[in-house]
Structure 1
């Protein structure tokens, strides 16, 4: 873990994501680092504490950018990374909807 100041934010995001990832494979779950894969073994989402942010790396977004809403676009750095800081307003509905929509793309990326 690169910055323990982000543990609460990381935990908040992880709980939202795990609610929507029931049935998928949790590959790694350690403080500051969560990785979930599809049942076929493809990466789905990784949530990791970095030095200056909590990064959410969501592979389906690389192939299905039409899933990106205005809120998600404001968090995005690059094609698949969502960048959360202490000042980020975590919109639970937006995050859960994004994960649900990305789950519908499993098998299409």
Structure 2
């Protein structure tokens, strides 16, 4: 883990994502590092604590950019990475909707 001060934020995001990823394969779950794959073994989401942020790497966004809302776009760095910092207000509804929408794209990326 690169920065202990992000543990609470990481835990908050992980809790939301895991609720929406029920039935998918958790490949790695360690403090500061969660990786979930589809049942076919394709990467779905990784959530990691970095030095200056919590990164959420959501592979379906690479192929399905139409799923990105204004809130998500403000968090986005690159095509598939969302950056959360200590000052980020986590919109639980937006995150849950994004994960649900990305799940509908499984098998299409």
In which range does the TM-score fall when normalised by the shorter chain?
Answer: over 0.9
1:76, distance to aligned residue in structure 2 (A): 0.0
Q: CA deviation at 1:72?
A: 0.1
* SS of 1:7 mapped into structure 2: helix
Count of aligned positions: 109
1:95 Cα offset (Å): 0.1
3-state SS of the aligned residue for 2:44?
strand
Q: Please give the per-residue CA displacement for 1:22-69, whole angstroms capped at 9, x wherever unaligned.
A: 000000000000000000000000000000000000000000000000
In structure 1, what is the Cα distance between the partners aligned to 2:92 and 2:82?
A: 14
Give the alignment's Cα RMSD to 1 decimal: 0.1
**Runs of 4+ with >2 A deviation:** none
Shift in Å at residue 4 of structure 1?
0.4
Consecutive unaligned residues in structure 1, runs of 5 or more: none
| Structure 2 counterpart SS, 1:11 | helix
- 1:94 Cα deviation from its structure 2 partner: 0.1
